[in-house]
Amino acid sequence: MPAMLEWLHQLHTPDGIRALIAAGGLLVLTVIIFAETGVLAGFFLPGDSLLVVAGVLCSLDPTAPDQAPLLHLTTTMAVLSAAAILGDWFNFWMGKLVGSRVWSWRDGRFYKRRYLDEAHAFYEKHGGVALAVSRFIPIARTFVPFAAGMARMPFRSFFLWNVLGALVWVCSLLLLGWWLGRDETMRRNLHLLILAVVGISLIPLVIGVVKRLLGKPPALPMAPVFEPPRD
């Protein structure tokens, strides 16, 4: 357990992410992005900060000593966009397969019922747009595709918003890291940049919590029943 906690801590720091990329390259990034978007147990993974640091590592000057880029920007964009698209698709498929049975699951270390409640409410309110918007919201980007699958969202609409959201999320954060990484001062203060990215991405969650505390939360059904789409 101490080793696991240490690994999680390193995974949320710029130096730890860089060491992870140096050791595993693009493959380890692909696995993490797929896991965070495609598996409910991956909600704790740091997708936003991971993409920003990856962008910084794409921007290093290859002519400077010991600063050869660890990643190629275009290749990284293509591979991680594909991982994000496939992750949401797998999550959507699992939600469709499991259906309303998930509401009877008990909370565990890697599953929290309240996250699914909030993701389902977010999807019901915003529809397909929720898939794209939730890419920028930690935890939500893991649970919203699953909720969309449970709600039997038409696959054509899911495919459109899934691809659009993945491309905007991955490319924007990689380019942000690439642009900021070209400045030496920014590279030296990368930890502050990561804190800013994480803080901004948490704003929607904080707003939701405040609204829930100030207002009376609606009663949640214990076992919602989703009707399959009509032919």
- Residue spans per domain, the chain: 2-38+48-61+71-214
pLDDT computed for residue 221 by the predictor: 41
Predicted pLDDT of residue 175: 94
Answer whether 91's CB lies under 8 Å from 147's CB. Answer: no
DSSP label of 70? S
Report H helices in the chain: 2-11, 14-38, 47-58, 73-98, 113-126, 129-133, 140-150, 155-181, 184-188, 190-214
150 residue type, one letter: M
0.85 cut: is pTM over it?
no
Cα(165)–Cα(131) distance, rounded to whole angstroms? 7
Number of Cα atoms under 13 Å in the Cβ half of residue 133: 13
pLDDT for position 185: 77
Q: What is the pLDDT of residue 33?
A: 94
Cα(57)–Cα(60) distance, integer angstroms? 6
Question: Can you give the pLDDT at residue 58?
Answer: 86
Ordered mean pLDDT values, 10 residues apiece, the chain (231 residues): 54 70 85 92 82 84 58 93 96 86 69 75 84 88 89 90 96 91 75 70 62 52 43 38
Give me the pLDDT at residue 48, please.
Answer: 85
Quick one: pLDDT at residue 219?
A: 42
DSSP 1: -
